[in-house]
Amino acid sequence: MIQFISLNTIVSDLLNIVRGSKVSQSETISRRQIEDWVNQYRALLIKQDMDKGKMPNPDYIQELPSLKLEVVDKSLESDLQSEAHFMRTVLELPNTIDFNFKSGFTYVGTIDGREIQFVPEGRSYWQQFKRFTKNNPLAFLRSKRMYIHTVTPLKYITVRGIFEIPMEASRFVNTSTSVQSYDTIDDRYPIPSNMVPVLKEMILQKELGIISQAPSDNTNDGANRMSPNVEQTR
C-alpha cells in the first residue's frame, strides 16, 4: 500500500503533541486552527524555497482540470483590435502563492496538453502588433479569472499551480462534470515529506511556544511520519 501525507495526518500529529505537552490553552485549540497554521506555514516554506530560484517541486502543484470558458464581449475591450477570440474562465480561480520572481501558475493550456503562454495582462494588447507571433495564444489573470486570447476558440482549459490554500483547489468544482476532484482532508496534501517535520516544528515553536528536539519516526510504518519530541516553554 502506497503511503502519502494527508492534511488530516499532519493535524492529528500536531494535536497529539500539543495535548501531550500540557500547554495551558491546548483544550481550546481546534482542528480548524491547526489546519490554518499548516496552510500558512506550508505557503511560507514553499515561498522561501521558490524565491531561491529553484524549479517547483511536483509535490507543490495541484491541477484544476477542464475549466469552462465564456466569451468576453469585445465591446467591453476597446483596446482589442485583432480578430482573435477573447475568453475567460467562468469561475474565479483560487489564489496562488505570491512568489518574487515567477508566477504561482505552472501550466495553462488546452485539455489535450497544448500549453498557452501565461503573461502579464498588458502584453496581450501588444501581441496583435507582432508580425510573427500575433496568432500565438496567450493567457493572463484578471480579477481572479484566467483570460485567454486565441485565434482558435476553446471551450475548456486546464490550469496547474501552487495554491495558497490547497483545499480550495482540491475542492474546486469541475464545471464540465459538476464533480469535485477531491473532497476530504484524507487526500494527498501537496507538500514533500521532507518539509513536514520543519513545518510541524515551526508551528509548535512559533504559535505554541513548544520547542521540539530531533524528530522521531514514531509510527514505524514506512511512511516517514515524523513526530517531534517536545519541551514546553510557556
pLDDT for 142 = 93
Question: Which amino acid belongs to residue 110?
Answer: T
pLDDT for 137 = 87
pLDDT for 226 = 45
Q: Enumerate residues 6+ apart whose C-beta is below 8 A from 13.
A: 200, 225, 227
pLDDT for 132 = 54
pLDDT for 180 = 45
pLDDT for 170 = 76
pLDDT for 123 = 64
pLDDT for 151 = 82
Task: Give me the residues of the chain with pLDDT under 50, please.
Answer: 1, 78, 177-182, 214-220, 222, 224, 226
Q: How many helices (H) and strands (E) does the chain have?
A: 6, 11
pTM above 0.95, yes or no: no
Which of 38, 150, 169 shows the shortest CA–CA distance to 93? Answer: 169
pLDDT for 214 = 46
